[in-house]
Amino acid sequence: MNDLQEFHTIPSIPWILVFTSLLVRPLLAKGLRKLGKTLRSNSIAEISTGVSWLIVPLVVNFVSKLSSVPKTWSIAMSSGAYILVVIILMSALRRLMLSSMGWATRHLPGNRSTAAGFVPLIQNLVTLFIVFLATILILQHFGYDVWS
């Protein structure tokens, strides 16, 4: 029996969890935004939507280990979930760093024109750092030694 035929014999109960996670995600985002407002933290409120997407790849990874999918499908689903988690977390980290930098530009004393000139440069450097970090994490997950 090939992988596609085995895939159709999978019980649908674990996959209901995946679709439920898609329905729960907006509620999680709303709860995180409310928590950010309660704690008076604009940072939590700003990254709430991105972080709420973490529930989907985590549930997919859980389902891939729980259900009776073929091993190749399970490995592919786990790897895909890992890549999505890294992308979501790095996107949230970038957003958090850029919002912190915007806050510092507005609240610290000094010459605003000098700060305004450096902000785009620092934003690009932050983005490059996040992209390189995500690439290193993903390549290491697949067994590539990127540190040597």
Dihedral of CA atoms 47, 48, 53, 58 in degrees, nearest 10, equals 100
pLDDT at 123 over 70: yes
3-class DSSP assignment, residue 21? helix
Task: Provide the pLDDT for residue 111.
Answer: 63
- 51 and 35 Cβ atoms separated by less than 8 Å: no
d(CA 18, CA 55): 9
The Cβ-side half-sphere exposure at 31, using a 13 Å CA radius, reads 8
Query: How many angstroms separate the first and last alpha carbons of the chain?
Result: 42
pTM for the whole thing? 0.75
